[in-house]
Structures are given as structure tokens and as C-alpha cells.
Amino acid sequence: MLSRSVLRSLTHSSRLFSTSAARQQKVAVLGAGGGIGQPLSLLLKLDPYVTSLSLYDIRGAPGVAADVSHIDTASEVTGYPADKLDEALEGVKVVVIPAGVPRKPGMTRDDLFNTNASIVRDLAAAIGRVSPEAHILVISNPVNSTVPIVSAVLEKAGVYDPRRVFGVTTLDVVRAARFLSQITGSNPQDTVVPVVGGHSGATIVPLLSQTEQGKSLTGEAYEKLIHRIQFGGDEVVKAKDGAGSATLSMAYAGARFTNALLRGLAGEKGIVTPTFVKSPLFADKGIDFFSSPIELGPNGVEKVHPLGPLSPSEEKLLAACLPDLKKNIEKGKAFVAQS
């Protein structure tokens, strides 16, 4: 079991905009014109920790910015067209990246690599040049590879701080809470499931044994729930039938993670949530990025929490996760090495 205080923190950190802002920050969204970018920009406009919102896309960001800017919260909103990336990044403390193509039915997240790897690489290079101290929140898939890509680009540029690069895996946590609560009848807001590993299929490892509501689930009910959490993205891809993947639930998850980070940066204590970061947990197996509950603070990552005791089923899930994750990470690194 994770310690009581970590579990309490996970619960506390699973609220969107739960407190009033102590310190505010400039936030940029790269890919703001897209299916995730638009509702994410809307939700960030509502976040009291955001003082200024910089919306960039190769298509449509000024229009989204004009629209969102009419909402009656205090933050300033500016839209930047394709040729104004550097301006969009000036002075930003947090950059959220949902730029890139989404899946269509029949595709894996890894099938997006060929298009999205270079998009993310080029955006990371611009961040490294213009706002090297920014915290970078990567949504673009495949997250298991795009986070190593961003990290390697910053490393090449000599500005890498592993405490400031995050893969956003919050949607897995959101789905786990929702799907489990549908079975148990619990309130999803109080149903906090640590989800660790990576963000695709078998690399997504939900730790139901560590939750009050999930620990007694066994047999077919357990197997079905694990499958649903691991392949929740496919449900949406199938239902959208060629029109993309999760956008609205992802915008919610992205806004929630951004808010958690902003609260940590502002000095709030006890902000703990899973996110895919440079991690020592499986570094001895050559896997140096991993998602586990992370404590967020003024410098970004303050503490990487261990996984805690796993059930025999979770040990099996972890064993299946690690080789896939290793391949995804190595693919990202190799891409930058060859660029």
C-alpha cells in the first residue's frame, strides 16, 4: 500500500481548481487550435493560477484566442500564428503540448511516431532556445517516446532539467477512477487509483490493490476493468470512427495536471499525482522514464515515489509493461540521436 499520506495527497490532487491561486504563471499551449487544444485552452482560462495564456498552432490559434479571451476571468490571452512560435514562448513558465496527429481506428499510438516525433522535436528545440526554464507537459502521442524525445533534445541543447519534463498520463488516472466507480457505485472523486508505467496498452499498469474500492475485485471483473483502463483510448477512437481520439476528457485531464503543477510551483505541499518522468525506479533495467506517483513542488518533480507493494496480478502487469516501455523509450532516444 502507498503510505496514508501519499494516498491522501493523491486524493487531494485529483480535484480541478480546488484552491484559490497563491501565485500565478504564464502558460503556453502548443497545438491550441486542435481537438484537445481548444477545450484545454478554455479550461486553462478558468484556472486562477494562470495569469497569461499564450496560444500557438500552425492553424487557427488567433481565432481560438480571440474567442477564449472574452471569458470573464482575469488572465490575458494571446494567439500566435505559425510563424510566431518564438514570440509565443517568451517568458512562459509552463508549456503544454497537444500538437500532433491523433489515431484513427486500427492504429496504435506507436503508429503516430513518424509524424509526431518531428513535431515534438522541433517544438522542444524552440522551447530550449527561447524559454529553457519552462516546465514542459507532453500530451502528444506516443507519450512513451515523445517524452524521451523532448528530454534528449533539451539535453543536446545543454538545458535539460529532468524535474521539468512530464508526460501527461492523467487521463489513465481519470479513466481508472471513473470506470472503477461505475462498478462499485463509489464517488469517482473519492476513487483514486494510482496508474503507473507508461501511456499505451500493456504499458498502462493500474494498481487497484492500493485502493479501498478496488482491492477486493478479482477474477473476470478484475480482468475486464484492467483491460478497459488499458484500452480506454481505443473505445473513444472506435466511437469517433475516424474523427480522432479523446479530446474533451483529455482536455479535462490536461487542465487538471497543469493545475496540480501550478499549485506545486506556487509552494503548495502534498501535491502528488502519477506522471511519466525521468525516474530511477527501473533505471537498473535500462528504463529511465516511468510513471509513478510524483510529488510536485517549486522545482517541478520534488520526489519520485516508489510503487509500493504489488499484488501477484500487478506484478504480472508490470512484467508485461517493462519490455514494451523500454522499446518505446529507446525508439524516441534513437530518433533524436539520428536527427
Q: List the one residue from 6, 7, 14, 34 that touches ligand NAI (CB under 6 A).
A: 34
- Active-site hit among 12, 135, 199, 305: 199
Q: List the one residue from 79, 100, 148, 233 that touches ligand OAA (CB under 6 A).
A: 233
Residue of closest CB approach to ligand NAI:
34
Tell the smallest beta-carbon distance from residue 171 to ligand OAA (Å): 5
Of 91, 95, 29, nearest to 65 by C-alpha is 29
Q: What residue 237 binds from ligand NAI, ligand OAA, none (CB within 5 to 8 A, per partner kind)?
A: ligand OAA
Neighbours of 182 (CB within 10 A): 13
Q: Are the C-beta atoms of residues 9 and 272 closer than 8 Å to each other?
A: yes
Q: Is 39 in the site for ligand NAI (CB under 6 A)?
A: no
- Residues β-bridged to residue 26: 52
Query: 53 is written with which cell numbers?
Result: 495564456
Of 141, 142, 33, nearest to 82 by C-alpha is 33
Q: What residue 57 binds from ligand OAA, ligand NAI, none (CB within 5 to 8 A, per partner kind)?
A: ligand NAI
Neighbours of 104 (CB within 10 A): 15
4, burial (CB in 10 Å: exposed 0-12, middle 13-18, buried 19+):
exposed
Neighbours of 227 (CB within 10 A): 12
Q: Are the C-beta atoms of residues 279 and 183 closer than 8 Å to each other?
A: no
First to last CA, the chain: 43
Stretch 64-123 residues interacting with ligand NAI (CB under 6 A): 98-103, 112, 116, 119, 123
Question: Is 135 in the active site?
Answer: no
- Residues β-bridged to residue 271: 296
Q: Is 197 in the site for ligand OAA (CB under 6 A)?
A: no
DSSP 16: T
Only one of the segments 2-10, 41-49, 101-109, 177-185 lies at the binding site for ligand OAA (rule: CB under 6 A); that segment is 101-109
Q: Is 138 in the site for ligand OAA (CB under 6 A)?
A: no
Tell the smallest beta-carbon distance from residue 211 to ligand NAI (Å): 21
Q: List the one residue from 237, 260, 294, 322 that touches ligand OAA (CB under 6 A).
A: 237
Tell the smallest beta-carbon distance from residue 77 to ligand NAI (Å): 17
Only one of the segments 52-60, 125-133, 188-196, 323-331 lies at the binding site for ligand NAI (rule: CB under 6 A); that segment is 52-60
29-58 core/surface letters (b: 16 or more CB in 10 A; e: else): bbbbbbbbbbbbbebbbebbbbbbbbbbbe
Q: List the one residue from 10, 29, 33, 208 that touches ligand NAI (CB under 6 A).
A: 33
Query: 214 is written with which cell numbers?
Result: 478496488
Stretch 242-301 residues interacting with ligand NAI (CB under 6 A): 244-247, 250
Q: Is 197 in the site for ligand NAI (CB under 6 A)?
A: no
Please give the Cα distance from 257 to 239 (Å, whole number). Answer: 25
Q: Are the C-beta atoms of residues 135 and 93 closer than 8 Å to each other?
A: yes
Using CB under 6 A as the criterion, what x/- string covers residues 202-221 for binding ligand NAI?
A: --------------------
Q: List the one residue from 236, 301, 307, 336 that touches ligand OAA (CB under 6 A).
A: 236
Q: List the one residue from 171, 262, 296, 301 that touches ligand OAA (CB under 6 A).
A: 171
Q: Is 109 in the site for ligand OAA (CB under 6 A)?
A: yes
Please give the Cα distance from 323 to 216 (Å, whole number). Answer: 28
| Residues whose CB falls within 8 Å of the CB of residue 187, separated by 6 or more in sequence, listed in order | 181
Residue 317 DSSP SS3: helix
- Residues lying near ligand OAA in the complex (CB under 6 A): 102-103, 109, 141, 171, 233, 236-237, 245-246
- Residues lying near ligand NAI in the complex (CB under 6 A): 30-31, 33-37, 56-59, 98-103, 112, 116, 119, 123, 139-141, 143, 168, 171, 199, 244-247, 250
- Kindly list the catalytic residues: 199
